[in-house]
Amino acid sequence: MDLKTQAIRIQDLLGLKLPPIAISFQSAAPAGVQHVESSGPSGCSYWKLAAEGNTFYTEAGDHLNCTIGAYTHNVDLSPEKAKELESMVGEMVKLGYLRTEEVPQIPRREGTFEVAVYAPLADAQSDPDVVIVRGDARQTMLLAEATKAADVECDVLTMGRPTCAMIPAAMKSEHGVTSFGCIGNRVYTGLGNDEQYFTIPGRKVAAVVDQLETTVRANQQLETFHRERAAAVGSSHN
């Protein structure tokens, strides 16, 4: 199953408002892919740009506006930017947003950052490292169930801040990762209060998509069963 077919099936089966996006980390810019027009306020802002139908790549310098995201993506930081990161983390700890002991546990991508290529999954020109799906709780529930049924493990705990850490988490573990998002991500991407993310390791996407139709159909049938039972039990109490 090619990437375009995978993308169409995911979006159609789940009824997603926005298409799944593909991210791949490469050693050099691929031929025919344009550099992003301007650096965004955060790494996750590029997810929104890709979901709007754009294919592009970023370089390390395009990730320096958000030092937290630069850290999770393993972008080399200048002494000035490293100090900015330290100050930002310190402020988060001061606010009670993070605990000091949590900081070393934040997932971080391995390997030198050269370029990251972003695209709607349907338009991806190479196999992605991760595929990010943005949806509501029911849609991510279905995707998580399909992932588990496809013998792809899902991380037990749903991730929160920082949202971008779900990328290295999925890459390292090769597990499906659910994230509630974080306040920065919600600002930069316009993520709705009823939306969250599910990240699939790139090598596992085909297996998950193969299972997804069965999972969706099973849930439809079970929903009918449970609604009929709820109605029957409710009427018996009247």
Whether residue 94 is predicted with pLDDT greater than 80 in this model: the reply is yes
The tens digit of pLDDT for each residue in 104-151 reads 888 999 999 999 999 999 999 999 999 999 999 999 999 999 999 988
Q: Which pLDDT belongs to residue 31?
A: 93
Q: Which pLDDT belongs to residue 100?
A: 84
Q: Which pLDDT belongs to residue 157?
A: 61
SS3 of the chain: the string is CCHHHHHHHHHHHHCCCCCCEEEEEECCCCCCCCECCCCCCCCCHHHHHHHCCCCEEEEHHHHCCCHHHHHHCCCCCCHHHHHHHHHHHHHHHHCCCCCHHHHHHCCCCCCCCCEEEEEEHHHCCCCCCEEEEEEEHHHHHHHHHHHHHCCCCECCCCECCCHHHHHHHHHHHCCEEEECCCHHHHHHHCCCCCEEEEEEEHHHHHHHHHHHHHHHHHHHHHHHHHHHHHHHHHHHCC
The tens digit of pLDDT for each residue in 15-54 reads 999 999 999 999 999 999 999 999 999 999 999 999 999 9
Cis peptide before 162 (omega within 30 of 0): yes
Beta bridge partners of 116: 25, 58
pLDDT band per the 50, 70, 90 thresholds, residue 8: very high
Percent of the residues in the chain that have a pLDDT greater than 70, as a whole number: 96
Q: Which pLDDT belongs to residue 153?
A: 74
Q: Which pLDDT belongs to residue 232?
A: 86
